Amino acid sequence: MEEARIGIYVCWCGSNIAKMVDVEAVAEEMGKLPNVVVAKNYKYMCSDPGQDLIVSDIKEHKLNRVVVAACSPRMHEMTFRKALENAGINPYLFEMANIREHVSWVHTDRDKATKKSKSLITAAINRVLYHDPLDKRSVDIDPATLVLGGGIAGLAAALEIAGSGKQVYLIERSGALGGYAAEIDLLAPYMNSAAQVLDPLIEQVQNHKNIEIFLESKVTDISGYVGNFDAKIEKKGKEVEKKIGNIVVATGLKNFDPAVIDRYGYGKLPNVVTAMEFEKMLKIGKVETKTGKLPKNVAIIHCVGSRNPDYHEYCSRICCMNALKFANQARSILPEANIFDLYTDMRAFAKGCEELYTQTSRKDVLFLKFEKGDLPTVKKAAAGDDCDMVIDMHEALSGEDIEVPADMVILMTGTEAHDDAKDVAHLVGVSMCGNDFFIEKHPKLDPVATTTDGVYIVGNCVSPKDIPDSVSQAKAAAARILASISQGSVEVEVTTAEVNEDICCGCQTCIKVCPYTAIGYDEEKNVSIVNEALCKGCGTCGSACPTGAIRSKHFTDVQILSQIEGLMSLEV
Amino acid sequence: MSQRVDPNLMKELESYGVKKKDWNACFHCGNCTAVCPLTEQGSMFPRKGIRSMQMGLKDKLAAGVEPWLCYYCGDCSDTCPRDANPGEMMMALRRWLTSVYDWTGLSGKLYRSKPLHLAVVSFLFFAVLAVFFIFAKIPLLSDPANVQLNSFAPVHVIELADHIMLAVLSFFLLSNMLNMFIKVVIKDKSVKIPIHLYFKEVWLAIWNFFTQWSFRKCEGKLYWFAHLFLMLSYMAMFSLIVLFLGWFQTDTIHPITHPQRWIGYIITAGLIFGSLYFMIGRARKKDRKFKFSHHSDWIWLFLLFMIAITGILIHIFRINGMAHLTYYTYALHLAFEVPMVVTFVAFSKWSHLVYRPLAIFFANLKKSTLALQKNR
Amino acid sequence: MEQKGLTGIYFCDDFNGKSDAIDTAELMAYAENNPDAAVTWSPSRLPITDPEAIAAKIKEFKLERMVIAGDMPGMVKPVFARAMAAAGNDPGDIILAGFREYGAVSGADTDRAKGVIACALKGVTFGMAAVPEETDVNQDTVIIGAGIAGIQAALEIADSGRKVYLIEKTGTIGGHMAMFDKTFPTLDCAACILTPKMVEIGQHPNIELMSYCEVSGVSGKPGNFKVKILKKARRVNLSTCIGCGNCAEKCPGRAPSEFDAGISTRRAIYIPFPQAVPNKYLIDADSCLYVKNGKCGVCVKNCPVENCINLDEKDETVEVTAGNIIVATGFQVFDAKKVERFGYGQHANVLTSLEFERVVNAAGPTAGEIYLRTLDKKGNYVFPKVGTAPESVALIHCVGSRDENYHKYCSRVCCMYSLKLAHLIKEKLPSAKVSEYYIDMRAFGKGYEEFYERIKSEGVNIIQGRTAKVEGNNGKLLLRSEDMIEDKLIEEEVDMVILAVGLEPRQDAAEIAKMLGISQTEEGWFREADSKFDPVNTFSGGITIAGVCQGPKDIPDTVAQGSAAAARALQSQIKGKIRGNIKDIPLQKIEARAKELSTLEEAKK
Amino acid sequence: MSFEPTIVSFLCNWCSYTGADLAGTSRIKYASNVRIIRVMCSGRIEPTFVIKAFTEGADGVLICGCHPGDCHYHEGNYKCLRRYHLLQKYIQQLGIEKDRLRLEWISASEGKQFAELIDDMTETVRGLGPSKVKEVMTTYT
């Protein structure tokens, strides 16, 4: 390795640093340290003349390492790295000492602050000695995208991506596109026709030259990493292989089966129906009991299987609005009937939904509240009663035990993760939460990405949600993918981990601790291998490695240890 | 035992003045109860009443006294987030309760049907006029300068008629009150009221009756004053006519300082002021409590106002010696008075004069009983 | 009468009488003259209470297909479904012509409503027929508003290598999210997750951050907009300011801090908050003594950089061109003063949730300590540096929301943020009594219900019953509510009341809508092209909406929309073509296109 | 003059280092005895680093990471927590008082808490007196 020639620059930051730190003395003393060729102080290092100073010194004094003592690296590390790049040396051969936020702004004793600055800069010098030049790396992105699931979210994602002229492979496990949305007649809160919007959407997908549809198919294997996945698709016994750059998982939901809840009598009482069954009745205009009579009393029960620790603790998010829709439509088709809506909390939160709630209640729908742990029970009415069933419940808002007459009971069944969620998770490498929903990279700020780069999760496979929210998510994933495709490549983390195969003992400890499944195992060589396209550079593996075979680039052991030495070389 | 929900009660209540757009709008936030200055622990309204109405819990409603505790200040309706107008629903509930207490069923018929109520009032109006037309001493009428009211309508005859009417209506009213007592107190098995409490609480009830003290907690002192003034004037007029008609209806014209005259003036002023206050309010529809009026409200106020106006006119004509006008107005006066008394005292709005203090009485009884039980 | 077609049309609404409504009579006349409509009905001609009677009519006119037209025709669809089935037809042959669905809501949109009718009568959807022409697209994007939605959209697009102009009205990006302490339900700190994104925006080579700027005019057409931007005089040079803060130290001008929701004061020359991006000072003209009186200049004297502060700087206007515009202007909170009975503004310790968010924030004026607010000598409410902690706090939900007197809609986030605040109070003051008064607990998102259960188990007193009034009572606050579940009247005395104020459209939303030619809902939110399948597009080509300006939503949903809006822009940029305005397509063209499509459909059969 | 301890502090880049920066931008004053080393994640902090700091003469070592659940890398702070507990046992066996090593969670908005933590830690370590590790090391090796 060539001899280190270090340049030190101490910033005044006007008076911000200079007032509390004797910058001139610091620079002078630092200049005496070995390997230091230049040590200067300047009013504003971040200003253009300040940067020019570094550039010209690098050229003039053939510097190959630079330390700037100024503000926080979070503020200006990028600025100075660029300056190094402009001067023709690798930007990673640079270190910053934070003597503003961590020294001059927080301390009151000028001597101590000056001393502390010296030790911080010494540490930076020690560290920069061991810096390696690192190169920006990127991986090429295959422009094709795999969309798993032909429901509304999958369709939206496919159209958004294909609309820009890029190839999409759309995989659907059933024989038709549209998912659950295709079974729905009208959509709350504005009661527009689902089919009228969905059909053209499906038609567009079917006729799109950039979308290849695989019905009754499933993906059997996915290998590779972001930008370069290989997917094996099985279609009716035949297997096709496709190269893809990104994956959108939109595998959707499953409806809860209410037969497991005894008290609602589903499967035993003929006129207890699920939401989906009632939906079908509405679609064909035939809201009748099993004996072909018009029901005089219709009862809707919310939270079936949801908000219940015995089944699913979570709220299924869409049932309340669906129930209001049903109440409205039942009123329209049965103007004389009594309509009861048994709810716990009315969750009408989306745009236009509270208004629908108001409208519905003004159509003589009687809302009855039961408490979360105090569910109603449906039973057969006594012979001679003028209704088919009665529902016993404790009405929470009146405090009364009441019975509700019913000729038809609609169970607002919740949603749950699809049966194949586990297989899908395993296939694409995403993790699942306790409810078998997929886990997003960050629940707030990255709701569609996953810890596996290039794999996005959208719609109901992440958590229950309604159509607009699913579509938004699908498009959000499309945005991410479009951006990467149009760049042609994505930059990947530079400061990744790497394995020294000579020392690695093959214990695989690192594989267990990696949150990004970025470390694989080479069976032949018996060593771990870091996939640098997946590694985010957290360094957890490095500290877990018992042999020291893993190096976290730019945060190597030797860099940090010598930094510690530097810190301690001066007394407080 | 659990009660069955019955949405049909609401359809019945609609004829008592509950607006459809109101009763089903309530989403139970609890605002109305909490905003009400009169609601108290243990007797909470209006929300719970609305809930019972929506669910059709007839027995529970019939046994409740809460609607009578409300004086309709309108705060609940003003602040209701769903514009469900709870105040008006309490009003309608009072009408319905009146019909529930009335075992004859006439009350419900009058409330539910505007044409019927108008027809009964008109019939009685013309019947009274007809009686005068048939029995009036025609010769008397020939002397227009000499006012002899007691000859035109002899005080003992009128008094007798008054007493008969009093007896009949008292029978109905008292039986209705008893009915109310049974529904509210006897049937309520949860509270057993010790006899001595009845004597203890009755004084408070009387105090409340004459001052409407709890009403003062509501916003708007003018409203309280108008209501109290009208009520007291009415009560005074009522006792004068029924008990002291001989002293009140004289042919001698007393000097202005005589109590007969100034008492009469005050009563008339109270009646005119009160009925005008409410009529103007109801016509303007600006104040929340006056926004919606049932036909019974209008008939009641109109009759009251006409009674007061004709009463004062009789007096003016009489002291000015205008005999004909005095007789005609007197006939009109009674023609307004009779239907008012017959249709309203036992069967409609008037009865709240007794039901409300009674309800407060019962509520206090229950409260004191509970307090006693608690202390034990 | 000669049978014209096999389709009947039923108008279920009658807008006549309302001002600025669609003219139903005109639409009915249009339908009657349309050769495809066999018969035109309305409620006055055919009541919809009896499906059998309708079935008879359907048979009489030998109808095979029914069109239901109106504002929300789906409301009556089931009646017709039953009638169609009874008449021996397929209930699937009912077509809805919903005006609202396609953005026809006022008299000005009557032509669009006609288009919707024409399409429905032909049996094709409006969306397929009303396809605007495509034009070339400029690769740059303008994003209005740099809250989390705008930030997200900007990063998505800029990461693809395209230029973004990010325009922010205030001195810093970050929006409301930067003000929050923790985010529900994960309770991660808002600053921890947001500031890295803000820094990324500030350093991104493809993003031109224009803070303290406003859009003052938009012209041009989809794919090629000219956006006029008013650069408000910042009076501090962005490129030379080093953010040292010497200027502010001596500045005599004071104003309530916007970032602290008004609970603390800032100087006239200020930085909105320490982590602001750009981390540069600016001068607020309204509180600057120099701007007001022409005398002061203390900041200039204290500034260590030469010519950095220019007190005489004037506003200027610049113009940029862009192919796409993303609107992410966000919201403002409901003014709690409007609900007088809650006593906000009358009692020191009735706070809005946003104010409390700053109180509980570790970087807020009380450094995260919850203290009672007191009066200073001048009679202003202030939070003391060291003060007394409240022993009891009440949170009132739905302030300004779900209320016909204020906003009818649900603000969607208040239930959850109230639960979060309750948790934070419990965390910092474990012995404090915390109560929540709610109507319906709307914990609907991922992990929300679980969070609700957790807060319940932490000893927060959660009461179903809206608080009716808050009154001062010897320095304490007296609340009156009905506990509907426990059936009792609650008169609770607390030290502090937090009002969960709802979200409402920004004051200038109407102005922006007008400038961009997009429409608003009755409440003032921007209207999307399709409430279900196209939640970010508008009827104007090239203009997308994202975040709360489209309707209340929480952070994940806002972030998703921010990205979704970016997807729309990216799609057009990659393709090089963009769709024009749906609203500008002439009726004749829609009619012709509908005819063409239905002929194609026939041919297929 | 009283004893001035030296404290080496390892801060994660995303929460704690930002929090320390916030203390600076908010001009919150604290003891100057702390020396900060930035790592990407508290999960990167190896036991060797801590031991190295002590052998180089540090009187105290402070580790700060994101609050549980906030880790930028999902769970690095949990890994750190486990190592911390092991390390605590280890240093005590070496004869280092347990209060010389401390782990705290500092978020990006907790500038004030960071400053208070440093002051508190400085006082604790000052109370313990100078660490003997370096001395012993140089004497016996």
Whether pLDDT at C46 is above 90: no
Please state, as a whole number, how many other Cβ atoms lie within 10 Å of the Cβ of residue B111: 25
Residues of A in Cβ contact (< 8 Å) with B53: none
Interval C326-350: pLDDT, tens: 999 999 999 999 999 999 999 999 9
How far, in Å, are C225, C514, C577 from residue C580 at the CA level? Answer: 12, 18, 10
Confidence class of residue C18 from pLDDT cuts 50, 70 and 90?
low
Q: What is the pLDDT of residue A274?
A: 97
Mean pLDDT of D23-35: 90
Whether the CB of B29 is below 8 Å from some CB of chain A: the reply is: no
C15 confidence band (pLDDT: 50, 70, 90): low
How do residues A471-495 score in pLDDT, each as one tens digit? 999 999 999 999 999 989 888 888 9
CA distance A190 to C71: 9
Between positions 416 and 475 of A, the ones with CB within 8 A of D are 451
Quote the CA–CA distance of A493 and A138 in Å, as a whole number: 8
Residue with tokens 């302030």, as numbered in its chain: C399
Residue B3 domain flag? no
Q: Are B62 and B149 part of one and the same domain?
A: no
Residues A387, A407: Cα–Cα separation, whole Å: 6
User: Containing domain of residue B280, as a range?
Assistant: 106-375
What's the pTM value of the predicted model, to 2 decimals?
A: 0.88
Confidence label for C416 from pLDDT (cuts 50, 70 and 90) = very high
Fold match between A6-134 and A493-553?
no
CATH topology of domain A493-553: Alpha-Beta Plaits (3.30.70)
- Could you give the percent of chain C with pLDDT greater than 90? 68
| Contact across the interface for B28 and C481, Cβ inside 8 Å | no
Residues B179, B304 within the same domain:
yes
How far is the alpha carbon of C261 from chain B, nearest alpha carbon, in Å? Answer: 27
Lowest mean per-residue pLDDT among A32-46, A426-440, B94-108, C163-177: A426-440
Question: Chain D residues with CB inside 8 Å of C451's CB?
Answer: none
Residue B150 and residue B136: Cα distance in Å, rounded?
11
- Ranking A436-440, A568-572, C187-191 by mean pLDDT, the lowest is A568-572
Indicate if the pLDDT at residue C372 is higher than 50: yes
From the list C468, C488, C490, the residue facing B31 with the nearest CB is C468
- 3-state helix, strand and coil shares in percent for chain B, rounded to the nearest 5: 75, 0, 25
Nearest to C341 among B28, B30, B79 (CB): B79
Give the model confidence (pLDDT) of A417-462 as tens digits: 999 998 998 888 887 877 889 988 888 888 999 878 899 999 999 9
| Touching partners of A (3+ C-beta pairs < 8 Å) | B, C, D
Same domain, B85 and B144: no
Tell me the pLDDT band of C379, cut-offs 50, 70 and 90.
confident
* Residue B16 maps to a domain: yes
| Average pLDDT value for chain B | 88
Is 90 exceeded by the pLDDT of residue C209? Answer: yes
| CB contact (8 A) between residue A443 and residue C91 | no
D63-122 pLDDT, tens per residue?
999 888 778 787 899 999 999 999 999 999 989 999 999 999 998 888 889 999 999 999
> Does a structural domain hold residue B58?
yes
* Residue C164 structure tokens: 């973004």
Q: SS3 string of A352-363?
A: CHHHHHHHHHCC
Q: Does C98 touch chain A (CB under 8 A)?
A: yes
Residues B163 and B16 both lie in one domain: no
Last-in-domain residue among B48, B78, B101: B101
Please report which helix (H) or strand (E) contains residue A395, including its range.
Answer: strand A389-395
Q: Are residues B71 and B122 in the same domain?
A: no
Is position B141 within any domain?
Answer: yes
A111/C contact by beta carbon, under 8 A: no
Higher per-residue pLDDT: B233 or C5? B233
Q: How do strand C94-98 and strand C65-70 relate by DSSP bridges?
A: parallel
pLDDT on residue B137: 63
Mean pLDDT of B133-146: 69
Q: How many CB atoms lie within 10 A of CB C262?
A: 15
pLDDT of residue B375: 80
Q: Can you list the positions of beta strands (E) in A1-102?
A: 6-11, 36-42, 65-70, 94-98
pLDDT of residue B358 exceeding 50, the answer is yes
B149 and B84 together in one domain:
no
A307 CB neighbours in chain C (<8 A) are: 449
**CA-nearest residue of chain D to A544?**
D46
Distance from CA of A324 to the nearest CA of C (A): 11
| C186, C193, C362 member nearest D112 (Cβ) | C362
pLDDT score, position B142: 65
pLDDT tens per residue, range A136-181: 888 899 999 999 999 999 999 999 999 999 999 999 999 999 999 9
Among A208-212, B81-85, B322-326, C292-296, where is mean pLDDT lowest? Answer: B322-326
**B227 and B297 share a domain?**
yes
CATH 3.50.50.60 corresponds to the domain A255-415: yes
- What does the pLDDT look like over A54-64, one tens digit per residue? 999 999 999 99
What are the counts of helices (DSSP H) followed by strands (DSSP E) for chain B?
20, 1
Domain boundaries, chain D: 7-135
Using the Cβ of B58 and the Cβ atoms of chain A, whether some distance falls under 8 Å is answered with: no
Q: Does A106 sit within 8 Å of D37, measured CB to CB?
A: no
For the four alpha carbons of A298, A300, A301 and A306, in that order, the dihedral sign comes to: positive
A6-134 under CATH 3.40.50, yes or no: yes
Asked whether D and B share 3 or more beta-carbon pairs under 8 angstroms, the answer is no
Residue C19's pLDDT is 63
Distance from CA of D81 to the nearest CA of C (A): 18
Q: Residue C526: how many CA atoms within 13 Å on its side-chain side?
A: 33
Instruction: Say which CATH number the domain at B75 has.
Output: 1.10.1060.10
| C-alpha of B226 from chain center | 14
B324-328 long-range contacts, Cβ below 8 Å, gap at least 24? B324/B141, B324/B144, B326/B147, B326/B149, B326/B152, B327/B136, B327/B140, B327/B141, B327/B149, B327/B152, B327/B153
The interface predicted TM-score (ipTM) is 0.89
Q: pLDDT digit string (tens) for A349-375?
A: 999 999 999 999 999 999 999 999 999
Cβ-defined contact of A285 to C73 (cutoff 8 Å): no
CB atoms within 10 A of CB B257: 7
Judging contacts by C-beta atoms under 8 Å, the chain D residues touching residue C361 are: 109
User: What's the pLDDT at D115?
Assistant: 94
Is the minimum CB–CB distance between A207 and chain D shorter than 8 Å? no
Question: In CATH, what is the architecture of A145-252+418-490?
Answer: 3-Layer(bba) Sandwich (3.50)
Chain D residues within an 8 Å CB radius of C191: 18, 107-109
**pLDDT greater than 70 at residue C95:** yes
Cα Rg, chain D, nearest whole Å: 15
Contact C78 A333 (CB under 8 A): yes
List the domain boundaries for chain A.
6-134, 145-252+418-490, 255-415, 493-553
Interface test mutation site (partner A, options C65, C77, C545, C604, max chain A beta carbons within 10 A): C77
Structure confidence at residue B312 (pLDDT): 92
pLDDT at C2: 42
β-pairing, C461-464 vs C433-438, is parallel
B306 within some domain:
yes
**In angstroms, rounded to a whole number, what is the distance separating the alpha carbons of residues B350 and A316?**
54
Quote the number of domains for chain B.
Answer: 2
Interatomic CA distance for residues C344 and C336, integer angstroms = 6
| Residue C254: strand, helix, or coil | strand
Report pLDDT for C455.
94
The pLDDT-based confidence of B247 (bands split at 50, 70, 90) is confident
Q: Which chain D residue has the Cα nearest residue A542?
A: D44
Return the CATH class of domain D7-135: alpha beta
Instruction: Tell me the one-letter amino acid at A233.
Output: I
A near B: at least 3 beta-carbon pairs less than 8 Å apart: yes
Mean of per-residue pLDDT scores for chain A:
92
Residue A425 in tokens: 């998770």
> B330 and B369: one domain?
yes
Rounded to 5 degrees, φ, ψ at A417 are -65, 150
* D14 vs C: CB within 8 A: yes
- Average pLDDT on A530-541 reads 88
Cβ pair C92:A480 closer than 8 A: no
The whole-number average pLDDT for the span B61-71 is 92
CA dihedral B176, B177, B182, B185 (to 10 degrees): 150
